[in-house]
């Protein structure tokens, strides 16, 4: 790296931003530490600065407080991202070398984004292995990626680190604010609708549930990705009576909407501008948040090779155009019915094994993270759906729709089920009092705990404990 003279006045940066450096060259890691870490010293550099500037201190670059982790291969980098998510300490950005043994930088970034799509990434390269057009074709237009040519200046790295980590935090703040506003609007809208339908005073309406207002009573959400407005209008009208339909005109917009709304099903045209239907399908199936979503691909021909490519990309059904609306609706009904029949309801009687509840590895990974997160916070009576969403790095709406789709249960049901399951275990195996167990599993009110425990198990917790210790319950 070339060293540049000068000074920068940095804005107040959030302490504790985490940066991952993925490069097979150990000396590059040392260079990044010298630039990014305020306590990294280099004796040779210090001597050169004293010779140039005399005894006075050289112009300083004020550095925010970062945690910098290192990986010497793409596989190691992906594992570190996975581990950071499991520990609820996600990385804000990553510097990734383009040329590495094993999986190269582009494949490394693909796998990183499959686990955490929010990470800001800088590709570091001295070569032209991939053009920007190649990267756009692979990922679509994204604002999470920059290219940095080697050799690069210290000041470039410093500015990128400061700007992109701040961008990560601001984007997260904005998402939480938007989610809060959407929730408030939804509650207000529902209250107005009920007032109109029943002519009730506002105080007579029940409050919104812990998972959001009547979320479980909504019609299934279908995302239609079709660039022909005439066709999309026909399909929307054909499905509109039984489903809520939202539309996108190209694959990139479809992928963005799918990540934001987590629909129950996606119907996509095969031939789309930019990211085509197969690329959209692959993107959905690879991402943890959308991996469960069934996809129906529509094409203007019924060639066997096209059907095979669609199925290999992860599509659940392939229909030829012109589309028969009754057949399309039957396929949508069939896929969603199959999913609902496969749901295992969340409850204390279940051991909640993620791999058994999930249809694929990405779903199992998401469930495992959610369950492990709840387990770590069982004794915290303030830990709720909002807190769980923040810990697994999704919005409240995304968490609700993901868990509802994969398990048939709500986030609140998951938290309550795990608390009651732990309470049952403690009543069986420990000598703790009912009051102690109440607080140990995150209930703040003894009366409420007794009520929900009896509702689930048919007896009060004290009686359950006596029967268990007497050998009457196994």
What pLDDT, in 10s, does the model give residues 294-351?
999 998 876 777 888 888 888 899 998 888 899 999 999 999 888 776 654 444 444 4
What pLDDT, in 10s, does the model give residues 189-206?
666 665 655 544 444 444
What's the CA gap between 440 and 433, in Å, rounded?
A: 10
Among residues 382, 383, 354, the alpha carbon closest in space to that of 370 is found at: 354
Is residue 437's pLDDT more than 80?
Answer: yes
How many CB atoms are closer than 10 A to CB 106?
18
Binned at pLDDT 50, 70 and 90, residue 215 comes out as: very low
Report phi then psi at 93, rounded to 5. Answer: -155, 165
- Please spell the DSSP secondary structure of 339-394, one letter per residue: HHHH-----TTS---HHHH-SSHHHHHHHHHHHHHHHHTTT-TT--HHHHHHHTTS
Lowest average pLDDT, out of 256-265, 418-427, 452-461, 465-474, goes to 465-474
Residue bearing the bigger pLDDT, 254 or 191: 254
Alpha helices by DSSP H, 37-153:
43-53, 74-86, 105-115, 132-139
Beta strands in 44-196 (DSSP E): 66-71, 93-97, 120-125, 145-149
Q: What is the mean pLDDT of the chain?
A: 80
What pLDDT, in 10s, does the model give residues 19-55?
999 999 999 999 898 888 865 445 555 566 566 656 5
Lowest average pLDDT, out of 42-56, 232-246, 255-269, goes to 42-56
What proportion of the chain, given as a percentage, has pLDDT over 90?
27
Instruction: Give the domains, in start order, of the chain with CATH numbers.
Output: 17-170 (3.40.50.2300), 216-342 (3.40.50.2300), 354-469 (1.10.10.60)
Are the C-beta atoms of residues 456 and 420 closer than 8 Å to each other? yes
Confidence (pLDDT) at 70: 94
Lowest average pLDDT, out of 128-137, 291-300, 386-395, goes to 128-137
Q: Is the dihedral of CA 206, 212, 216, 221 positive or negative?
A: positive
Lowest average pLDDT, out of 272-286, 322-336, 357-371, goes to 357-371
Are the C-beta atoms of residues 273 and 227 closer than 8 Å to each other? yes
What's the CA gap between 430 and 435, in Å, rounded?
A: 13
Confidence (pLDDT) at 346: 43
Residue bearing the bigger pLDDT, 469 or 205: 469
Binned at pLDDT 50, 70 and 90, residue 258 comes out as: very high
Is residue 419's pLDDT more than 90?
Answer: yes
Confidence (pLDDT) at 364: 82
Binned at pLDDT 50, 70 and 90, residue 216 comes out as: very low
Confidence (pLDDT) at 118: 87
Among residues 86, 140, 95, the alpha carbon closest in space to that of 116 is found at: 86
Confidence (pLDDT) at 59: 52
What's the CA gap between 260 and 200, in Å, rounded?
A: 34
Residue bearing the bigger pLDDT, 258 or 187: 258
Binned at pLDDT 50, 70 and 90, residue 101 comes out as: confident
Are the C-beta atoms of residues 394 and 379 closer than 8 Å to each other? no
Confidence (pLDDT) at 44: 56
pTM of the model: 0.53
């Amino acid at each position: 790296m070339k060293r540049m003279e000068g000074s920068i006045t940095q804005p107040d940066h959030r302490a504790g931003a985490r940066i991952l450096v993925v490069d097979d060259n150990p000396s590059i890691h040392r260079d990044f530490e010298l630039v990014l870490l305020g306590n990294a010293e280099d004796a040779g550099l210090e001597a050169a600065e004293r010779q140039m500037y005399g005894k006075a201190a050289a112009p300083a670059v004020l550095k925010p407080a970062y945690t910098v982790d290192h990986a010497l291969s793409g596989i190691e980098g992906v594992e570190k991202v996975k581990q950071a998510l499991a520990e609820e300490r996600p990385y804000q950005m990553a510097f990734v070398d383009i040329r590495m043994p094993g999986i190269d930088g582009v494949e490394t970034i693909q796998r990183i984004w499959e686990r955490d799509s929010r990470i800001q990434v800088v590709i570091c390269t001295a070569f032209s292995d991939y053009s920007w057009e190649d990267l756009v074709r692979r990922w679509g237009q994204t604002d999470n990626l920059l290219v940095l040519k080697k050799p690069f200046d210290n000041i470039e790295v410093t500015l990128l680190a400061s700007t992109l980590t701040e961008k990560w935090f601001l984007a997260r703040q904005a998402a939480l604010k938007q989610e809060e506003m959407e929730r408030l609007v939804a509650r207000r809208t529902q209250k107005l609708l009920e007032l109109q339908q029943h002519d009730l005073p506002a105080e007579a309406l029940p409050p919104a549930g812990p998972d959001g207002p009547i979320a479980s009573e909504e019609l299934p959400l279908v995302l239609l990705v079709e660039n022909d407005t005439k066709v999309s209008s026909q399909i929307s009208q054909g499905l509109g009576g039984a489903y809520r339909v939202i539309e996108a005109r190209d694959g990139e917009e479809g992928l963005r909407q799918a990540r934001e709304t987590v629909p129950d099903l996606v119907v996509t045209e095969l031939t789309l501008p930019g990211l085509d239907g197969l690329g959209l399908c692959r993107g959905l199936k690879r991402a943890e948040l959308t991996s469960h979503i069934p996809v129906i691909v529509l094409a203007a021909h019924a060639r066997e090779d096209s059907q095979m490519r669609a199925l290999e990309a992860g599509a659940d059904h392939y229909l030829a155009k012109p589309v028969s609306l009754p057949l399309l609706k039957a396929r949508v009904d069939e896929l969603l019915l199959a999913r609902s029949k496969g749901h295992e309801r969340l409850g204390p009687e279940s051991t909640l094994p993620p791999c058994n509840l999930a249809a694929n590895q990405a779903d199992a990974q998401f469930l495992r993270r959610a369950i492990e997160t709840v387990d770590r916070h069982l004794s915290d009576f303030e830990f709720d759906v909002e807190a769980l969403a923040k810990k697994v790095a999704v919005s409240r709406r995304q968490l609700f729709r993901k868990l509802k789709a994969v398990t048939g249960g709500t986030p609140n049901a998951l938290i309550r089920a795990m608390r009651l399951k732990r309470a049952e275990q403690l009543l069986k195996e420990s000598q703790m009092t009912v009051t102690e167990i109440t607080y140990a599993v995150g209930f703040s009110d003894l009366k409420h705990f007794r009520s929900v425990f009896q509702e689930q198990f048919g007896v009060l917790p004290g009686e359950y404990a006596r029967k268990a210790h007497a050998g009457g319950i196994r």
